[in-house]
Amino acid sequence: MKAVVLASGGLDSTVAAAMARHDGYALYLLTIGYGQRHQTEIQKAREIAVWLGAAEHKILQLDLHEFGGSALVGSGDIPKNRSDEERQAGIPSTYVPARNTIFLSLALAYAEAVDASCIFIGANVLDYSGYPDCRPEFLDAFERVARLGTKRGTDGKTVQIQAPLLRLSKTQIIQRGRALGVPFELTHSCYDPLEDGSACGQCDSCVIRLQGFRDAGLQDPAVYAGKASGE
């Protein structure tokens, strides 16, 4: 069995990939440089691909910075130190227009090329409920698109969209990753890292990650600005 995994170098996509490997899939990783503020996560994805023993790892460059519309590609500031209530209030400025639609389309093309039966994505609706392209309705709709718009689909072979973390809390994701031996020190979650690659500790992604590790009773091995850990 073959699976394409959208591998960002982040915690969620790495745990999803580890789950796919545990389920017996040969992994075909796809990492996309989309014009984000930093390249740290791409290097992390390379290291994670080695740890996973991926059958193949493709890195595509697609500069969504040309479109703008997101703080992640330089259009505005990254929100910092927001409360739970603030994070749940509408779509955040870190939303990249149609990113998961674009990424899944590329993953679908890759899946057809290597004859993979499914695509794994680390989407989550609990921690990132403001992102419309992480909702289960969207993923279900894209699976229908995959069936209708591909040769594989017309041949009666589906390409399933697997989002095993969709309804897990960050703490549950971390616990699942720990059980699978995920090297969390290789993962990168920060939206606004320093030049040396250390995490800011204040963006939404850092705050959620740190709280997840605390609630799991674990120390986050990521390097944060001015510290060796998030504690």
The residue type found at 25 is Y
Residue 20 CA, chain-centre distance (Å), reads 14
CA distance 121 to 108: 12
CA distance 182 to 171: 14
The tokens for 208 are 């959620």
Read off the pLDDT of residues 81-135 as tens digits, 9 standing for 90 and up: 888 888 877 888 888 999 999 999 999 999 999 999 999 999 998 765 578 999 9
If one counts every other C-beta atom within 10 angstroms of the C-beta of residue 225, the result is 15
Mean pLDDT of 208-214: 96
- Residue-averaged pLDDT of the chain: 92
For the chain, where are the E strands, in sequence order? 2-6, 26-33, 56-61, 118-120, 160-162
pLDDT value at residue 229: 47
Order of strands, sheet of 56-61, starting from the edge strand that comes earlier in the sequence: 56-61, 26-33, 2-6, 118-120, 160-162
User: If pLDDT is split at 50, 70 and 90, which confidence band does 231 have?
Assistant: very low
Read off the pLDDT of residues 127-179 as tens digits, 9 standing for 90 and up: 655 789 999 999 999 999 999 999 999 999 989 999 999 999 999 999 999 99
CA distance 19 to 131: 23
Could you tell me which residues come within 8 angstroms of residue 141 by beta carbon, excluding any fewer than 6 positions away?
Answer: none
pLDDT value at residue 228: 44
| Opening angle at CA 114, ends 34 and 122, nearest 5 | 45
Read off the pLDDT of residues 32-43 as tens digits, 9 standing for 90 and up: 999 887 789 999
Domain ranges of the chain: 2-180
pLDDT value at residue 101: 97
Residue 206 CA, chain-centre distance (Å), reads 14
The tokens for 20 are 């796919």
What is the DSSP secondary structure assignment for residue 90, as one 8-state letter?
S
The tokens for 226 are 């001015």
pLDDT value at residue 230: 45
pLDDT value at residue 226: 72
0.85 surpassed by pTM:
yes
Domain 2-180: CATH superfamily, name plus number: HUPs (3.40.50.620)
